[in-house]
Structure 1
Amino acid sequence: MYVLLLILLGISRYRAHKNSQLPDGFYAAIVNSFSNRNIMFSTEMIRSSMLFIYVGVEEGESEQIRNAMHYRGTHLSDYKPKTQKIFVMSAQKAPVAKSVTRFYVRLNMKMSTEYRVFMRHTEGRARNIAFVREKLDEVNTFYSHEMGEQIGQVVKESCWKPNNQGLLINAVFFNLSWARTFNSEATYPREFRVNAARSVMIPMMHEDRRSPNALIKPDQPDGLAALQMSLQAMNILSVARNLTMMDVFVGIPKFKIHSDLELSPAFEKMGIKDIFKPSKSFSTLLHRNTNFQIDGVIHVVTFEFQEQGIGTPSTDVGNLNYLQKPER
């Protein structure tokens, strides 16, 4: 399971590097900040959601974010024509991925008219809110309604504190189907090695066929840490382009991952520090020049790996081939 997630992280890192939108250090900062956890994240959606903060801040704080996120514009007006394109990630009928971003600002801190106008041009929203338990339930219910119950709990009570001033929340789930799905009748329990000392019995999906393959795995049962380090320098797409046709018997576990990350430690590693301290630099965001700080940046990804693919699309049962986007 962990190996699969590492591969996904590697793809995310490579695409960010290829597009020259994010530095290699972004991937490493997130992975190193959560080295003891199975994690999953979308660098592109993190970058897009951080725009909500960037366009509301001035002075040194703005420069820190611009350098780390590789934003090209320096003013709020630089992004108005492109914001809808930035935040839309789904096809009309069958979304490959859905992302919902909300920026919650303390109730008694009025946002500027300029900033509110900017928000009208985006798929995300900023709103004033009281950081009380009743509103936490409201926020989690909102995400469940927008994204489906599979998204789970997006905001934990430990992040929703009465003295919060600003909380940025981005949630993502993916919905991709296999070109040929696994046969559910070939799913049965098998032993899965968790580490060198522990094994568990879990449902495994199976497939016996000839297909293009490449194997990325640890050399030892406790070799995941070393594999993770090697993936940071690996060109995943190059591996994918040089697959070898082989007769293989595939056994893949069914699982669901709910990865919730509070990213401020990773951002601080990248040099984005001052927005998490009280300052008067949020002069574009707020109606009045007052002390303000970001109390958290939450990124949640739900990922369900099963016979139909990733998510719960409607597909015919058949044989595993590869992941494809739903037809538009």
Structure 2
Amino acid sequence: MASKHPQDVRLAQTAAKASNTFASNLFRVLTEGGSSNNIFFSPMSISTALAMTFMGARGETASQMSQVLHFNILEESVLHQSFADLSALIFRADAPYTLKAANRLFGHKGLDVLANFVDDSKKYYGASMETLDFIGDGEGSRQHINSWVEKQTANRIKDLLAAGSIDALTRLVLVNAIYFKGDWAAKFQVSKTSPEKFHISATEDFDVPMMHQRGKFNFGRDDSVSSSILELPYLKNEVSMFIVLPDQVDGLVDVQKKLSQEMIDSWVTEARMRDSPTVIVSLPKFTLEQDFVLNDVLRKMGMSDPFDAGKADFSGMTGDKDLFISKVIHKAFLDVNEEGSEAAAATAVVMQAPTSCMPARTLEFKADHPFLVFICDNKTGAILFIGQLCKPEGDTIMGDSPSEKGMGSGGNVLGNTCLCPPPPPPLPCP
């Protein structure tokens, strides 16, 4: 997605706040009941994909999406410009790291999409419309979309759309893909990486390759969740990874319950409010891969009408109430090693037709039990990726198998939306 100079930094920061609030709410829903599963996703990708979809939403459908995605903290007249400004600040060609995003609309060759929707998708999200034959060649269309996503994510997100995702009722697929690769400002030495125990619980542990280094890092405490916060900046300090490490092996449950956008902001502020102490850092070398079907989670959060063929109103796309969201699919990937990190994500929206004070001493930060992790753009405060590491398996940490409830293994993919017409007629519409 080509970046342009932002019109208003304040608008970008407000869009970041909306995305971050959605991120913390989504994380809480995914971890309800004290989940001990690995979780990783890109709120930036999901918010962007659904923001594109929101351009075509009207009535109660738009109201529900606005509430759940927290678009209501932005003035409607500048909402999409706010996301455009946020992208312009984050996705820069001259950045000291690789961070890029791409959006695209894939529409059925017989779908009559309103010119305003196509033009605004291009203006605000850099999303061009590509025409495919979903009815005559659904499988070829699926492979074509997946290939586009792979290319945008340096081959990290594969098979975003599973077999059968595209059928004769599919009318529109909105896709967002995001990719990040950055070197640590202070790299870990490979020679210091050694096998150590990662404690999943009081009675269960695994051997993992543990990286080590000693240096000055931003470090904070949040006694409300009995956790330490460590900032690991990437080169030039424009993007950082934050690790939130509970004191106790089972302490992540309290973080899950209380997580909020305000709490994330306070962690960043707390870590940076004093001179950086010397910290002995121990961090696992790990990979997280996960995919989600977010339908049930978004319904639970209050977005039900967009998935209901009888109630969905996306007339801003076609002029008629002839489309509803059949699936919101997200995949994400994170690799953390001595050099730095690599992360990717993609989101697809598929639409169908119906039928505290720090002591003056060396501190130790040993991430040898479950912790929360997020990657943050330091200019805007936008959370690019967020998740939790609970169950390492050797030197690779994988998610569970995909499910309608939202957790699984896979790549990092954001923003793929498919629009379809209401329940099928006797024969597929041309």
Scaled to the shorter chain, the TM-score interval is 0.7 to 0.9
Which amino acid is the alignment partner of residue 285 of structure 1? M
Which amino acid is the alignment partner of residue 269 of structure 1? K
Give the Cα separation in 2 of the matches to 1:253 and 1:205. Answer: 6
8 Å CA contact retained: 1:16, 1:43: no
Which amino acid is the alignment partner of residue 265 of structure 1? D
Q: Quote the residue 2:58 is aligned against.
A: 58
| Deviates further, 88-97 or 171-180 | 88-97
Change (3 A) 1:270 1:256: same
Aligned to 1:148, which of 147, 154, 158? Answer: 154
Give the Cα separation in 2 of the matches to 1:166 and 1:28. Answer: 28
Q: Quote the residue 2:121 is aligned against.
A: 119
Change (3 A) 1:283 1:146: same
User: CA offsets, 1:54-81, max 9 Å, x none?
Assistant: 1112222122223333254557xx6676
Higher normalized helix content (fraction of residues): 1
Q: Quote the residue 2:304 is aligned against.
A: 273
Change (3 A) 1:203 1:308: same
Which amino acid is the alignment partner of residue 124 of structure 1? A
Give the Cα separation in 1 of the matches to 2:79 and 2:278. Answer: 50
What's the C-alpha RMSD, in Å, of the aligned pairs? Answer: 3.6
Give the Cα separation in 1 of the matches to 2:15 and 2:174. Answer: 27
| Deviates further, 59-68 or 216-225 | 216-225
User: CA offsets, 1:291-315, max 9 Å, x none?
Assistant: 2101122333322211121229xxx
1:27 equivalent in alignment to 2:24: yes
Which amino acid is the alignment partner of residue 135 of structure 1? S
| Deviates further, 228-237 or 184-193 | 228-237
Give the Cα separation in 2 of the matches to 1:253 and 1:97. Answer: 23
Aligned to 1:257, which of 256, 279, 288? Answer: 288
Which amino acid is the alignment partner of residue 123 of structure 1? G
Structure 1 unaligned residues grouped into runs of 5+? 1-14, 313-322
User: CA offsets, 1:6-56, max 9 Å, x none?
Assistant: xxxxxxxxx988965358465223431355432233434433322211111
Matches within 5 A, 1:136-215: 136-157=142-163, 159-160=165-166, 163-209=169-215, 211-214=217-220, 215=228
8 Å CA contact retained: 1:173, 1:301: no
1:229 equivalent in alignment to 2:257: yes
Q: Quote the residue 1:110 is aligned against.
A: 112
**Match of 1:252, SS?**
strand
Number of residue-to-residue matches in the alignment: 299
Change (3 A) 1:127 1:263: farther
Which amino acid is the alignment partner of residue 282 of structure 1? F
Give the Cα separation in 2 of the matches to 1:18 and 1:299. Answer: 20
**Match of 1:289, SS?**
coil
1:305 equivalent in alignment to 2:305: no
Give the Cα separation in 2 of the matches to 1:298 and 1:143. Answer: 13
TM-score (norm 1): 0.74
TM-score (norm 2): 0.59
8 Å CA contact retained: 2:142, 2:165: no
**Match of 2:100, SS?**
strand
User: CA offsets, 1:272-291, max 9 Å, x none?
Assistant: 221111157222201x5252
Higher normalized strand content (fraction of residues): 2
**Match of 1:111, SS?**
coil
8 Å CA contact retained: 1:41, 1:301: yes
Which amino acid is the alignment partner of residue 217 of structure 1? L
